[in-house]
Chains A and B, each alone.
Chain A
Amino acid sequence: MTTVPVNMTKKPEPHETYVHGHHWRSAEDEKDAAKLGMWLFLGTEALMFSGFFCAYAVFRMLYFDTWHESSKYYLNWKIGGFNTLVLLISSFTIVQAIRGAQLGRKMMAFWYLAATNVCALTFLVVKLGWEYLPKIQKGELPGGFFTYGHGPAGTTHDQVFLGIYWVATATHGLHVLIGVFIIGWCMIRTMKGHFGPKNYMFLENTGLYWHIVDIIWIFLFPMLYLVG
């Protein structure tokens, strides 16, 4: 084996010595593969949510007028709009975290990740505290558990609307929650020096995941809150 003269001024961080998995020909290939795999996964996410979108589209078509009223009645666009902004900002901060890793600035990556997680938690708190809790108290629950006596439509349409609202936003919320944990893990790995200019794949894929969560919300928001 060729010996390389090493005159390191300090112990290299994990990301500096990483080569690549044994079955890859180059780090470049490994990186491309990880990214392609991630995009395929994002495709499956989009298709999974398409079930909600499809159900929404069908009932929106059938119950065009009543859903207009239901949305205005049950949902507050200000809360939804606030959460939209929070998610958009968090998308930007995670991009900056990746930039930090690419530039080799560990603390920049760390703090931007922290900011992202603050946004994510804000989203969850607003969602739970200002939307879910009051709804549960009032009985504005999905379908069969709907006990709130007189909606604007007063028909089963309310129940389907709330049904789709609950399953779609709860599934999305679950994705946000998972995101919080992954980003938290990224923060730990950043501090351990796992990410650097040559190796930030995990961070970048986390970013991709976070962006798809954002994109799904970008669609859910007008569909549910801005039906008017």
Chain B
Amino acid sequence: MNLTLQVWRQKNAQSPGRFVTYQAADISPDMSFLEMLDVLNERLIQKGEDPIAFDHDCREGICGACGVVIDGTAHGPRRRTTTCQLHMRSFRDGDEVTLEPWRARAFPVIKDLIVDRSAFDRIIAAGGFVSAPIGSAPDGNAIPVRKENADLAFDAATCIGCGACVAACPNASASLFVAAKITHLGMLPQGQPERMERALSMVAQMDAEGFGSCTNHGECEAVCPKGIPVAFIARMNADFIKASLTKGRRVAQAGEATAG
């Protein structure tokens, strides 16, 4: 099949970008979207041109590295599918396809279709963890977990941090990502001691990174390759509201504890 690609080319974060038109000729419908770009890049290199930069790693939909806004949809036309798992049979011969990077102030473009998602890392560092003693592995079933909670935690934990939620949100909000992490840890007993602080510090970091706010459009859930539900955002809000209301009490307790 033959396609016309409109690709966003941008040298680095400082320079302005622009769209460049490429012909992707003789593409097999069995190729993945990234393989199609590989083929195009090989031809560009042979011609002595700069290949199109795009992010990828596992190419099997589990690492979260890949991500292109394809024809106005993050990760392209197939639901619950990362860009690397999208195949050219989802397109028709002769299609004109627009390729854009995730667009958000918090995700500056590194080059072409690659953006810097370290804002997500900083949000995780702010509270997306549980404090556990290192050393010997804990006994597997020592802490009972309610089945329903374990399932919900697992659903949330499937988030691969690709950032499609931010890319698709009209407000460039990171709420779905942060909500997935807060739900994942908040549904488990190991996550309880730091649950309130986690909500406060992860939301504070999310705001500090310059993401927008959630207006419940639901675009994030629609493009999420793992189908993380927007209902988790309500869980994050509930934790944040509760943590804000009870902060004074925790500060007082901390004071009592140090006073002895």
Do these two chains really belong together in a complex? no
- Residues of chain A touching chain B, judged by Cβ–Cβ distance below 8 Å, are none
- Residues of chain B touching chain A, judged by Cβ–Cβ distance below 8 Å, are none
